[in-house]
Amino acid sequence: MWVILGKVSLSASIVGGIVALCNRIKGDIEEKKTERFIKARAKIKCSRHELTAKVIKHYSLDEENILLYPADYCFPVPIRLDNVKLELIADDSSQEIIDFYTKRFRRFWPNKEKTYSKAVQWLEKPDPDKFYDGLSYRLIRIDQDGECLKMTFSLASYFQYFNTGEALVFTEALQVKSNSNSKYRKYFPKTLDFKKHIFTPGIQTLSIRLSKDRKSAQFYFLSRDLDKVAAAGGLLCLLPAGEFQPATRDSDEILDLSLWRNIMRESVEEFLNREINLKVDDKYDYSEFPFPELIEAKEDGKIAVWLLGYGACPLNYKLDFLTACIYSANTFDKIFGEYKAGKPNAEGTIYAKPIPFTRNEISSYLNINRTATTAVACLKLAYKHREKLGIPCVDDPETILDIKINYDRYAK
């Protein structure tokens, strides 16, 4: 009997040892996964330009085509924003897409988290007022007829994009070799397909202040702070730039399917540093300064707003509408008189000074290593069509922005 008990005890000890060993191995694996996650996130924040360079090479892009477009993309000239019609419809195809990528990306996330956003929240604990699953619009169709455009959207959320497009960036950051690409790129091809991916668009807006004599113009940049934003930190973006979202975080009553209202809100947030953190079902008040003034100025022709085009950044498959908002000097000064160059706001710091809209100045920003790809595309389009847009430029009217963007700069 004692022999039997001894054997049972020995077996229990062996089993216990095996269990302890397995738990230790699991713990080591989880610890390494967490370390790998931290390193990849740091690489995303500090070396986004290098990651972009790899992807540009992967897609065989060049200085004339630095964004990704749908197969039927056709945008020969800018379109006035008033000629862009937006429609919201019901669509239930998003979840299938989300499930597809969740299944493939999930093994990378520490702490057994299901999604990239959950892993970031668990490990980095970003400010919930800056990083949250905000109600968004998913672009599912664009129909163009000359200089008129119709965009069709369904409801979505910001994390649906973050857990696909930004998760793809994470897999890129895991690659050790500088010239390698994530094997998951095969699911994100060069030609955009609105039916197979989640495109919750952003808006890059080139804000132009005309001089009082209307013979010259200036534009503005925002340097996005690594510690203030969860995506695109460290990049220079046009001012303003932001997500195309309803003003409310969550509501059955959608009042803001409007590119112009979105541009107004982002301009107020970024130029005037007026943070907008509405709670669930709060309604946005467009009766407060400076919204009535902005609306009236646009109606009176003192502000002209154009859609220059659209396209997706090759690194993260983030689609942006590229727009230009052109202000008379008096209108800009009256509304954004509090604006100070070099002043920090909730997302970063307004660049040190307004930048003259000239070939030499624009060229210098197309050739530095941290200007957002969509901002580069927006500037190139605005310069190309400056005469149609009514943007004065001291350059000869025949001058073109013949800039050979050397993407080798990203490796520096």
For 301-312, write each residue's pLDDT tens digit: 999 999 999 999
Structure tokens at 268: 């107020």
Rounded (10°) angle between helices 373-384 and 359-366: 160
The pTM for the full model equals 0.86
- Is 252 a residue whose pLDDT tops 70? no
Q: What is the rounded CA–CA span in Å between residue 11 and residue 8? A: 5
Query: What are 192-250's pLDDT values in tens digits?
Result: 999 999 999 999 999 999 999 999 999 988 775 555 444 555 677 888 888 898 877 55
Q: Which of 14-28, 87-101, 229-243, 270-284 tops mean pLDDT? A: 87-101
Residue 378, phi then psi, degrees to nearest 5: -65, -45
pLDDT for the residue 339: 66
Of residues 194, 193, 173, 172, the one with CA closest to residue 184: 172
Q: Is 161 exposed, middle or buried (0-12, 13-18, 19+ CB in 10 A)?
A: buried
CA angle 133, 137, 138 (to 5 degrees): 105
Which residue, 287, 329, 317, 268, is CA-closest to 68? 317
* Reduced 3-state DSSP string for 321-349: EEEEEEECHHHHHHHCCCCCCCCECCCEE
**% the chain with pLDDT above 90:** 49
**For the chain, how big is the Rg over CA atoms in Å?**
24
In contact, 171 and 104? CB cutoff 8 Å: no
409, 367 Cβ separation under 8 angstroms: yes
What is the rounded CA–CA span in Å between residue 272 and residue 281? 24
Asked if 337 contacts 330 with a C-beta cutoff of 8 angstroms, the reply is no
> In the Cβ-directed half-sphere of 412, how many Cα atoms lie within 13 Å?
8
* CA distances in angstroms from 218 to 140, 264, 353, 403, listed in the order given: 35, 19, 10, 20
Q: How far apart (Å, rounded) are the C-alpha atoms in residues 45 and 166?
A: 12
User: According to the per-residue pLDDT averaged within each range, which of 4-13, 80-89, 265-274 is highest?
Assistant: 80-89
Rounded to the nearest 5 degrees, what angle is found at the Cα of 410, between the Cα atoms of 363 and 395?
Answer: 5
Q: What is the mean pLDDT of the chain?
A: 83
Shortest CA distance to 238 belongs to which of 337, 380, 101, 123? Answer: 380
